[in-house]
Amino acid sequence: MSRTRIIRIATRSSPMALAQAEHVAALLAGLGVDSELVKVTTAGDRWMGDLSKLGGKGAFVKEIDLALQSDQADLAVHCLKDIPGDIPVPEGLAFAGFLAREDVHDAVITASGARLADLPEGTVVGTSSVRRKAQLNLHFPHLTVKPLRGNVNTRLARLEEGHVDVLIAAVAGLHRVGQEHRITEILDLDTMCPPVGAGVIALECRADDAWLLDVGGELDHPETHRHADAERAMLHALQGHCNSPIAGYATTDPAGRLTLHGKVFDSDGSRWLDAKHWGVPEDPQALGFFVGADLLRQGARALIDSIPH
């Protein structure tokens, strides 16, 4: 098929998702490929309650995947962290590529400009992330965590309106919507371990669309792809549900080896497990399953199953 084909890009309609899709459209244009956006409002966008009531993170991707499967779109742009890792990609779909990873850190935005450690007892932090809640309880037990859903712009508005005193948001996401100037503090990875797939934009298409798989391959970043494969293999091994505080990230060390650091917490952060191992870049999934198996050996299954879902 010639590059005169117009690629229909399915995306959530939030400001961050649109920024991501427009970035992909610009990259496609650089390859001489035209595109147009197909905006999809997902169940996760419509629902402001507990995500577990909608089946967890998949609530942000199901309708977009359906747009691919029903030929209403050709290419989906997802935050990789939103794609469930405990189940396969839907039948008939495949990853076309992963863009180069952005910053995986979480940032703090406070109304007062103070750092988390310096905030008074009872200061309210708004987040509905079980991963963030567990680590905040572990490292900053003097703070009060309050559920807060919505895209980053909505949550920033809640901060300005005084509903909460502090927000925790992904550094990459803040950059995508031009709000990086709001950052008060960037948390180190020992204090706030990121979610699997943090900072990675994934491209997904129909598995039988060979031309688009080739185009996606031109945008694929091999190192990010290896890191994503390792992290998602760990998540698959753990078989966590949407209320499981699981965190982890892969890197490449100076010797060229893959490293993967995984953590599993209980809901209040009072118990947690930690595993870090190295592997060869040729088999990232083997490393992911090895780290997952180590966490299971330490008792991750009981920790995960102890959390209601």
The rounded distance, in Å, linking the Cα atoms of 244 and 266 is 8
Q: Which one-letter DSSP state was computed for residue 86? A: S
Instruction: Output the pLDDT for position 105.
Output: 98
> Can you list the alpha helix ranges (DSSP code H) found in 70-179?
130-139, 152-160, 171-176
Which residues lie below 8 Å from residue 101, measured CB to CB, with a gap of 6+? 199, 200, 221, 223, 224, 227
Give, in words, the CATH class of 7-99+197-220: alpha beta
The rounded distance, in Å, linking the Cα atoms of 62 and 6 is 23
How far is the first Cα of the chain from the last one, in angstroms, to the nearest whole number? 46
The rounded distance, in Å, linking the Cα atoms of 161 and 124 is 13
The strand pairing partners of 6, in sequence order, are: 34
Strands across the sheet containing 246-252: 246-252, 258-265, 272-279
**Catalytic-residue membership of 283:** no
Taking only the tens of pLDDT, the chain with its 309 residues reads 456 789 999 998 888 899 999 999 999 999 999 999 999 976 555 544 554 554 555 556 888 999 999 999 999 999 999 888 777 788 999 999 999 999 999 999 998 899 999 999 999 999 989 999 999 999 999 999 999 988 888 999 999 999 999 999 999 999 998 999 999 999 999 999 999 999 999 999 999 999 999 999 999 999 999 999 999 999 999 998 777 899 999 999 999 999 999 999 998 889 999 999 999 999 999 999 999 999 999 999 999 988 876
Per-residue pLDDT reduced to its tens digit, 53-67: 545 555 568 889 999
The strand pairing partners of 270, in sequence order, are: none
Parse the chain into domains and list their residue ranges.
7-99+197-220, 106-187, 235-306
Sign for the CA dihedral angle at 251, 253, 256, 257 comes to: negative
Name the packing angle between helices 284-298 and 222-238 (round to 10°): 30
Per-residue pLDDT reduced to its tens digit, 146-180: 999 888 889 999 999 999 999 999 999 999 989 99
Q: Tell me which CATH homologous superfamily contains domain 106-187.
A: Periplasmic binding protein-like II (3.40.190.10)
Q: What CATH architecture applies to the domain 235-306?
A: 2-Layer Sandwich (3.30)
Instruction: Tell me which of 45, 65, 74, 82 is the catalytic residue.
Output: 82
7-99+197-220 and 235-306 share one fold: no
